[in-house]
Chain A
Amino acid sequence: MSSAGLSEAEATERTLREQLADLVRARSRAEREARRLADRGSLAGADASLEEIAGRYRAQAGRLGEEVDGLRTSLREQEARVEHLRAEASGA
């Protein structure tokens, strides 16, 4: 395997990590918004639609969580690939 192949694999790993950071932050925002709306919705006289919107944010957070898990699995696989290429490049 060429050093270009290793560089490409390392770049892919970095990209996966950056995508994970994006997704984790997006999930955190959705969870925070769901909590905020649910809190407001629980107040006396609150608009009934708040709980519904909070539920949508919860569902979005759940979907993002699934994406995080999937991407983390891809990252583990990519890490193994990179380690394999490094071992090859170092002649191990």
Chain B
Amino acid sequence: MLIFVLLIVAGIVVFMRGRDRVAAGPDGGGGAPSLGASRAEPTAGDIRALKPGDVVNYDGGDFIVEGTLRLEQDGFRWAEHRIVDGERSHWLSVEDDEGLEVVVWERTRGGSLEPGPTSLEHQGVTYELDERGHANFTAEGSTATAGGGRVEFADYEAGERRLSFERYGDEAGWEMGTGQVISEHILDIYPSRGT
């Protein structure tokens, strides 16, 4: 009888460990961090692993990642991707700082606004300064920047709206962009081969 009970207990232990391994992923160790609390499976593509050549299905279009800027400031890293679908193009920024934030940007050159004040008004929206500083960047693919260097930036925000200024090099003018925070769940990613 005792042996029978031990066999049942051992069977339950083996079953539970097997379930844990399935939940942790095929390597059993959890692997890379998951996309978010509600999207833990890796097959749909990881927005944080986006790279040139990948395709992002967004807003009814298949946008190809033509270029990627990888930025770093004091150990904190984020990425900005230039995505193109025919005549349409955006920048997509992906930051993972106290939660994942994905922003779709429209870049505007030659705007009259410049960073400086703690609040700025643009197209009827008042933005508050969030952060200003310098970062190192490297470029992959087609980004219309140098292959790497320093960028000065100033970020403003108003709720889920964003206003950003970037200057690549001391002689360069400010590039302005307006952005909208989106849920990563509305993006469908088709990674290129070799990931």
Contacts and interface: CB of A to CB of B under 8 A. Distances in A.
B141 interface: no
Q: Is the interface of A mostly helix, strand, loop or mixed?
A: helix
Contacts, number: 55
Contacts of B128: none
Contacts of A73: none
Contact of B190 (A7, A18, A86): A18
B190 A28 contact: no
Contacts of B192: 18, 21-22, 25
A42 interface: no
Given A24-B62, A25-B64, A17 B45 contact: yes
Interface in A36-83: 68, 79, 82
B26 A7 contact: yes
Contacts of A27: 62
Contact of A24 (B18, B26, B43, B64): B64
Instruction: State which size class the interface on A falls in.
Output: 20 to 34
B55 to A, nearest CB: 5
B23 interface: yes
Contacts of A33: none
A8 B192 CA distance: 19
Given A28-B64, A68-B62, A82 B53 contact: no
Given A82-B43, A86-B41, A91-B19, A18 B191 contact: yes
A62 to B, nearest CB: 14
A14 interface: yes
Interface of B: 18-19, 22-23, 26, 41, 43-45, 53-55, 62, 64, 85-86, 189-193
Leading 9 A-B pairs by shortest Cβ distance? A21-B190, A20-B190, A24-B62, A17-B190, A21-B55, A13-B43, A24-B55, A21-B192, A10-B43
